[in-house]
Structures are given as C-alpha cells and as structure tokens.
Structure 1
Amino acid sequence: MTDLDLVCDVLVIGGGPAGAWTAIGAARAGADVLLVDKGYCGTSGAAAAAGVGAWYVPPTEEEREHAVRSRQKLGGDLAERAWVERVLDEVWVRMRELDAFGFPFSDTERPREDLENPGGMGYQRGMNFLHLQGPDLMRVMRRQVRRAGVRILDQSPVLQLLTDGSGAVVGAHGRRRQEQVDYRVRAGATVIATGGCAFLSHAIGTDVDTGDGYLFAAEAGAHLTGMEFSNAYSLGAKGTSASKGAHFAYGTFTREDGSEIEGAGVLRGRSVIARALIDGPVYCVFDQADDAVEHEMRLQQPNFMGGLDKLGIDPRKQRFEVDLILEGTVRGTGGIDVVTDDCATGVPGLFAAGDAATRQLICGGFTGGGSHNIAWAAASGTFAGTGAARYARAHGTAAVRTHDTARAGLAGTGGTDHREIVRAVQGEILPLAKNYFRAGDRLRASLDVLDAAWRSTVDLGPDADGRSHARSAVALAATGRWMYASALARTETRGMHRRDDFPGIDPAQTSRLLTGGLDDVWTRWEQDALLGAAS
C-alpha cells in the first residue's frame, strides 16, 4: 500500500478522555476533525481500564470555596483560582452532557440540576466527585466522537510533528501499524492529548503513556512546567498492575515478621510505606472493611479486586504483599505548559489537553487522583478543541511544504537498541530511593545517566514498524531529564516533590518552574521569565 496524505482542520493526537472531548469540541465549532490514536480509541490509556471519578462540585459559593481551599494548601499554593473555577464550571456542564450521551448512570447517580442533591448517591458532598467507570466512559465517548463526524485512525501512532517555514505546527507524520503504511496529515491546528508518562512501569493502562506528546511539543519549541511533581506512586498488590489507593484506607500494614508499621496510610502515611518498602517487603490486610465496603471496592475498581481473586487471596482475612507502582505524570501534575485560556502552548498551531498538558493549574504540586484527571480532561479538551477550531478557521490549511521536527529515533545508524535506553531510564526513575525520596547528589548522578541515554538516542535507527517504540524510548529519556532537572532546581519539599536534603517549604519558591530543551535542558522560575519578558 502507498503512504497516505491527509488534510483536516484540526488534528487530535490521542484518543483517551481528553482527546475525545477535544475532538467533540472542535467538531461542534465547525471543524473537520481527524483523531489518531496509538492504540484503539476507547480501550487504550489509563482511564479505559480504571474505576474513576470526576471532580464535580455544585456551583454554590460554599462548595466552590471549599473545593478551591482544599486543593490550595495540599498543592503547595501553586494552583490558580481562576483556572480551578473555570474548570469546575465546565465540568458541571460536561457531566450532565455525558448523561445525554447515554452514559449508564443509575437513576440515583445521574447528575442533575438540583443543587440540594446534584448527583444522587454518585455525588459525595465533601468528597466532590461523581463516580464513573472507565470502560463505560470510553465506550460512550468513542461513540459520541463518531457521531460528531470525526474521522478516527486507530493503531496509528504519531512519530513527529510537522511545521511550516515560520515554525507553526501544521500537522504530523505517523505510522498505520495494521496497514503498514506511513501517513502525513496537514492540519490547520494540532492538539496533543497523548496522556502523561509512567515509564513503562506497567501500571494498568499506562503502557501507551510514554511521554511522546512532551517530546513532540518540545521538538516544536514548546516548554513544560511542574515536571518536578512527577513522582506519583500508587499502591497495589505486588505483581499486579491495578492500583486503588482509596481501598487501602481500610487496611493494616505490616512487615514480613508481622509487626505493624506505625503511621502507614494512603495519604500522609504513604511516605512511611515507601521507606518501609526500601527496607523490605510490606504487607496489607483490609481488616477494617465490612461486606458493604468490599462490595463498593468491587464496584469502584473491578480490576484491582479481580487480581486478588486470581491470586486466591481474601484481602479482608489474608494479608498480601504490596508495592508502590510509579504512575509518573499520569497521576502527577507536570506537563506541557498552556499559556492561554484555550490551552494553546505558545507555538503557533499547537494546543495541549488532558494529562499531556500541565495539571498544575488546578492541582498545584500534588495529585488530585483520577477525579481531577477526568475533570481536567473534559474541561481542557473542550477548551483546546474549541480554540484549535478557531485557530484553524483563521489560518486555514494552506501549508504544502512541511518540515520534520524529530531529532532522534527515526533515522539513526542502528547502533543502539531502544530497549537499552528504556532499561537505563527505568533504572533511574522507577526506584523509590531515587525518585520518591530525592536529594541533590542522587539527582545529579541520575541526570548523568539520563544524559548519556539521551546522547545514545541519535543512534536509534529501527525499521519502519519499530520507529514508534524507538520514539517512545527517546521520549522516556527526555521526560526523565526534564523531571530531574526540575527536581534539582526546586530546593525544597513542596506538594509531592520531596527533597531529603531540603525537607521544608521555601516561601521564595512559591512559583511555577518551567523547563524545556533537548540537547541542553534548561529550567527557570516563571516569575523570572515574566520579569525577563517585561524588561
């Protein structure tokens, strides 16, 4: 088969919740939309396999103020009130719209206008979230994307962005795996909704989340922010891929000899568990759960409880070994910086949404968990889709001559195996002693290894069908360097970023930290960048 040349108004890269909401938003704004996904839109990605919720807060002064204040301190005073409020406004609309799409809410869970009972049993006042199931969500979203007239290319990973002579992003180059042909898309605007980066830790649904979108954006000239807040680990049964931190609130944690680990818990006690894991095995038993709680556990995350069932473990009576599984920026808050209300990146023609975009704007420096991810996906996707359609309408798709942006992983000498790079990166990013608990000397040592891995990416020269894996390896190396460069620059402990050598909060560092660059990674404080731009 011959290569494909395609044209659209808006190209959406990624088919998770953010990509789906982006595509729908752009199509509603009158754009001809093409969505391309690394896997199958509807089943690939972290949300598709998860029991999740949506941050869903009634538009009353008391409830909204509580939502803003509760995140502000936890996130290290880095969230921005204006973004929080407009995201909550958008989610309030989108969740009711999800009901109209045919999402299988029960009668008692359906979102409604009644502010005294805005979500029935599904809405928990004080918890501020609406229960969803990922498989149902993505089945409904794929159907709605198709109903909106959006073209979908499944199993079609993007390899690089394309730019015109001015540096504006005008589409992308990718590979259709099943047809074994390359494709090039000329687009008026492009939205990156590729998810975050979990470094192939095998956390459920995240093996497609390798930071590809970060790499694409940086190669086109965009920068990132909040990458120091990228060390999110979730509790799960050792040897399984599913995690559900909330379940462990009903557990007792013990060492191998059976002694209880004092202070262990799912939130503030997470560090206690992490330190215990560095010393040896840790076990848990859900001895504080009753029948009603277990029933709710099975509803919220069937994959988690199903894994224990397959191991023949009754988690309320038998202790099981646990582990902390890295989820990186999938559950962290770092990502591509967005510089306008419509999630534009500052590079003409390029927008970002969902986990690919920084969630620091609404969460600050501490994860909000799946509920904030879904809320951000719905809101930022809608913002980006509408903004991209508007940009495409203004600028058109006239570019015929395009320029590749890829720096490595497509046409090297073939002297390096991408798996060697992945192993090298994982060796510095996955261990708790290096990433969960950070210190300057360890970060510098890891950066030396990651810099060497980055330099070796120029030798990646796979065959046509191996280029996606090679590019993901390049993205892992790049993402690890941005993470650790940012972690080294933030000489304090704030949010989920912990420095053993700087255990306190430094008020002078209450600012977002920007990062970028490829061969030469840079970091700078946003307040300094703003002062420089104004001078």
Structure 2
Amino acid sequence: MPKSISHDLATPRTRDGIDDVVILGGGLAGIFCALSLAPRPVTVLTAAPLGGGGSSYWAQGGMAAAIAEGDHPDKHLADTIAAGAGTVDAKIARLMTREARARIEDLLAYGVPFDRDTEGRLAVGREAAHSERRIVHVRGDSAGREIMAALIERAKATPSIRILEGFVGETLTRDGRAIRGVIARADEGRAPTTVEFPAHAVVLASGGIGHLFRVTTNPPQANGHGLAMAARAGAIIADPEFVQFHPTAIDIGRDPAPLATEALRGEGAILIDREGRRFMPGYHIDGELAPRDIVARAIHAERMAGRGAFLDAREAVGAAFPTKFPTVWETCLSAGIDPRVDPIPVAPAQHYHMGGVLTDANGRTSIDGLWACGEVASTGVHGANRLASNSLLEAVVFAARIARDIQGLLPSPRVAGWSVDRGEAELPGASDAASMETVRDVMANHVGVIRDGAGLARALATLDALERRTRDTAMLNTLTAARLVTAAALARTESRGGHWRADFPETDPAQARRTYLTLDKARAISAQVAAPEALSA
C-alpha cells in the first residue's frame, strides 16, 4: 500500500479534470501499454507493488516468436490453432504471430536481456505443442521476472506515467453508453476509502482468476475482479469456461503453488509415478510434450489412483539445474528437494484463463471507452487451450495495439492540476474471508480439471447463497467471476481443451464455437439449476 496517497494523487491530470487514460493493472500488459502510450499521460492503478501482483512476474517459460531460421509466423499460427482445439480466432491469431518479432525488438529496446547463443543470436527453446524451437527466455526460467524488471525501470523513469500502488479496482463508472472511469479502494494506513478516477479511456489489464481456485500458480491479486467489473458494467464475456491447469506445479503445499516450468519437459524431463514408471506415453503419442490439458488430466488421474506424479529431470538436466533453471532449483532446495538427484513431486494447478472480456483486434471491448489486454481479455487467440508461452506475447501485442488505437481516437491532452473524489469503503468482514475460502474449495472441487453437470449445478447454488449475504464489493466481484466461469462450463455440454466434462467426455463438432456470455445470461443459467437451499462445498 502507498505510504502517501495524497502526495501521489497531486500529480497533474488533464486540464478538464479527467485522467487521459487509466490502466487497471501493473503487470506486463498494463506497463507495456503505458510505455506504448508515452508521452500521453497515463495513470496505472495496481493493488500490489508494481509488477508484484501480476502473473507475468511469475512466468518461467518465456515468450513465443517465430524468429529462428526455418521458422515462420504461419507455422506459429498453425501450432496456436492446433492447441486451441477448434475455437481459435485465426485472423486475430495471425496478427499476433506476425507482430511477434516487432514486439521482441521493442522489449530488447527497453532493456530486456533475452538469452543469446554463442553467435550472439537470440537463443530459442522448444515447449509443448510447438513444432519449432521458438521460445525466447531470460536466464533459463526467469523470463517473467527479468522482463518485468526492465519494464518497471523504464516506466518509473517515464514522466508521463503515474503509478499508484495500493489501489484495488472495484467498479467501472458509466455515462450513458460509455465507460467514464474507475472506482478503486485504497488504504492510507487508516480506514479504507474509495477513490474515483474519471477518465477518457480505461484499459483493463487486471490479470486472471487463479485465486478463485484452491491450488493456483497465480498471485493473490489474480482474483477475477477486472473480469467481474466489466461484466457488471454490461460487457460481453467470451469463453470463460476454458481454464488452463498447469500440469506441473511443484507439490510442496505453498499458496500460490510454485511452477516446474514446461521448459523442463522441453529439455527431456519425464513424468513418472512413485514406482518410477513413466506414464505419459500411455495417455498421448507426444508423451510429456502433449498439450497442457492432456498432461494435466493424466497427472490428475495418476494422483487420484494413488500412484502419485513426479517430474524426473535427473538425466535430462542433472548437474546443470542450478544454472539452466535457477528459479525451480531454488524452490526445490527450499523444500528439501535436490532435483539433480530427486524427482520433483507435481500436481495440476490453475494457471491461466483463456476466457475473459471480449475484445477485437485493437483491444476494444463491447462498451465504448473500455479496452482490455492481457489475461483479463479474450482476444480469441488461445481458443480452448492456450499454446505454451503465447500469453506473454499476447499481452505485449495487444497492449501495443490498444495504445495505437487510443492515440488515434483521443485528442492530444493538455496537462493541468486535478482533484479527487473520495467516499467511505465498505470493510470486508470475517464472513467475507470465510466466503472466499468456500469459493476456492467449490471451484477446485466442481469447476476444476474434471467437471460434471451435478457438480457445476451445486457450485452455482453455493455461489448464489454466498451472494445473497454479501455486501462487500470486492467479494461481489469474486462471486461474479466465479459465476461466469461456472455457468459457461455448465452450458458447454462437451469436452474441449481446458474444459473437460466427465458426463460429456467427447468433443462435439457442433460446439466448435466460442462462447459469448453476459452477466444476465449467466444468472439465467444459474436460475435454471441452483436451489436456494444450496449446501456449501
């Protein structure tokens, strides 16, 4: 939380007393968008210290881009479409793969120290479901942390970017048909207050939904609040049922769960049970390099059968572990595991949300004045199952597109002093903390790796019961995000990508289409199945 909000808020705004652009979220998408908008004045609101609340900081795998000899953006596109299980928007995905090289060059210009080979070229690795080696890394498994460090340093040195830490977005304000600002909760060391930020343009870059689930690799700020804010304002939500579970979270009881990066399997690490038997070839022809949803379900099945699941990198990486994968190395050592000689216990964990606020090629949502990028958005490039290392790429490609779109729409700003409106914030109580724990259990038990109609209906009933006794806006946003995911999962009566129904295990060609959902429609789905006397999970 900021030490002196009033000092930070004294920074100039535009002359009409309205922020030019407000960006909600300080992860990769938000910061890259702010830098791309410079020198236009931008206010970045972030709940945690800059970079710390975004999943980008935690990313280990890297960024996909067809930059190596013999590779091509169309090959990258084909892999993206194949992984997306029939629902990728090919036109939008083509834009992303063709603009990848330019965004890598932008990041290099910002000081990102991507790994290079002995000849000075960008080093590229291979990850699951990629047909070529096209993943650029930083220090092996430190891409997210190093990319964010470089961008944060540049953002803090950019006069047009004002960064306000300790602000949690709660509500989008509207003026007729258009979004006109953000109401955020702030804590000045006294009682929390709400602060309204009127704006000519609002960009949601608030991250994903990980902490709706009991086991996740996401930081606590990834709780779906941006998704919910947009839905409550009337925005169309796309594909919320498609949730990706990373197969190999390190199973040492931490929240969030640390990752054993997919790059380890790209280097040849294998998955074994506690008897040392390699099991992935029995589930898919590509073994450990099968799409993430298949690997996650295989690990889930082995664990449920009591055989356990372990990532064995002893032969593939061995003594090189400390230098090639320092993040995983340090995590394992802190838990008493030496991955050079010990297999790493792993479990599936919620990792990424393919769904989000529906956007077009320029990041525009269905409501005027509102853009979205990063994990909170649904551009259509991921389809039902995101291809590894496409998330960081998507974030920068569409953040840059939003910046160009806003620059072309808004007049040049004139800077002057400004003031802020404040109001009292409702305080979350003990009941809200208990409700959050219930939500995480319900989502893990009924909306997780394996789903069925009865469990989804039970989850909706529980969410309804919690919402009836909720007064806190933040908790309402949590419940709204959970409802959108669960209602869409119930409506899709097939298995596809990150959505797997035990009662509908086959993929239905007739349902090879994207989901478009409003909050009203999600409530209607809930009303059809949820009983008032719902039991807690």
TM-score normalised by length of structure 2: 0.81
Question: Where does the alignment leave 5 or more consecutive residues of structure 2 unmatched?
Answer: 526-537
Q: 1:121 to 1:259 in 2, by over 3 A?
A: closer
Determine whether 1:362 maps to 2:371.
no
Determine whether 1:393 maps to 2:411.
yes
**What's 1:336 paired with?**
357
Question: Of residues 203, 219, 222 in structure 2, which corresponds to 1:191?
Answer: 203
Question: Contact (CA 8 Å) 1:108, 1:120: kept in 2 or not?
Answer: yes
Higher helix residue share: 1
Residue 393 of structure 1 aligns to a residue in which SS? Answer: coil
Question: Contact (CA 8 Å) 1:9, 1:189: kept in 2 or not?
Answer: yes
Question: Of residues 143, 164, 167 in structure 2, which corresponds to 1:153?
Answer: 164
Determine whether 1:40 maps to 2:49.
yes
Q: CA deviation at 1:216?
A: 1.2
Question: Of residues 50, 56, 72 in structure 1, which corresponds to 2:59?
Answer: 50
Question: Contact (CA 8 Å) 1:109, 1:122: kept in 2 or not?
Answer: no
Q: How does 1:231-246 map to 2 (within 5 A)?
A: 231-239=244-252, 240=254, 241-243=257-259, 244-246=261-263
Question: Of residues 243, 250, 269 in structure 1, which corresponds to 2:269?
Answer: 250
Question: Of residues 80, 83, 88 in structure 2, which corresponds to 1:71?
Answer: 80
RMSD, aligned CA: 3.4
**What's 1:302 paired with?**
326
Give per-residue Cα distances to partners, 1:125-172, cap 9 Å, x unaligned. 8032211322211111112223442111122222222222x1421111
Question: Contact (CA 8 Å) 1:38, 1:157: kept in 2 or not?
Answer: yes
Question: Where does the alignment leave 5 or more consecutive residues of structure 1 unmatched?
Answer: 112-118, 461-469, 524-535
How many Å separate the matches in 2 of 1:395 and 1:79? 37
**What's 1:313 paired with?**
337
Question: Of residues 437, 450, 454 in structure 2, which corresponds to 1:441?
Answer: 454
Q: How does 1:335-484 map to 2 (within 5 A)?
A: 335-338=356-359, 340-359=360-379, 361-369=380-388, 371-393=389-411, 411=426, 417-431=431-445, 434-458=447-471, 460=472, 471=474, 473-484=475-486
How many Å separate the matches in 1 of 2:232 and 2:419? 18
Residue 95 of structure 1 aligns to a residue in which SS? Answer: helix
Question: Of residues 26, 34, 46 in structure 1, which corresponds to 2:37?
Answer: 26
Give per-residue Cα distances to partners, 1:267-321, cap 9 Å, x unaligned. 3343221122234361425255345x663x5456533221211222222433443
Q: CA deviation at 1:366?
A: 0.5
How many Å separate the matches in 1 of 2:366 and 2:271? 48
Q: 1:336 to 1:110 in 2, by over 3 A?
A: farther
How many Å separate the matches in 2 of 1:499 and 1:153? 42
Residue 505 of structure 1 aligns to a residue in which SS? Answer: coil
Q: 1:386 to 1:42 in 2, by over 3 A?
A: same
Determine whether 1:280 maps to 2:306.
yes
Query: Which residue type is aligned with residue 210 of structure 2?
Result: A
Q: 1:480 to 1:33 in 2, by over 3 A?
A: same
Q: 1:396 to 1:418 in 2, by over 3 A?
A: farther
Query: Which residue type is aligned with residue 138 of structure 1?
Result: M
More moved, 372-381 vs 384-393: 384-393
Residue 181 of structure 2 aligns to a residue in which SS? Answer: strand
Residue 391 of structure 2 aligns to a residue in which SS? Answer: helix
Q: How does 1:11-160 map to 2 (within 5 A)?
A: 11-27=22-38, 31-58=40-67, 63-108=72-117, 119-122=121-124, 126-132=132-138, 133-148=143-158, 149-160=160-171
How many Å separate the matches in 2 of 1:161 and 1:282? 45
How many Å separate the matches in 1 of 2:118 and 2:406? 33
Q: 1:510 to 1:157 in 2, by over 3 A?
A: same
Q: CA deviation at 1:185?
A: 1.4
Q: 1:73 to 1:283 in 2, by over 3 A?
A: closer
Q: 1:269 to 1:376 in 2, by over 3 A?
A: closer
What's the % identity of the aligned pairs?
22
More moved, 100-109 vs 503-512: 100-109
How many Å separate the matches in 2 of 1:107 and 1:234? 28
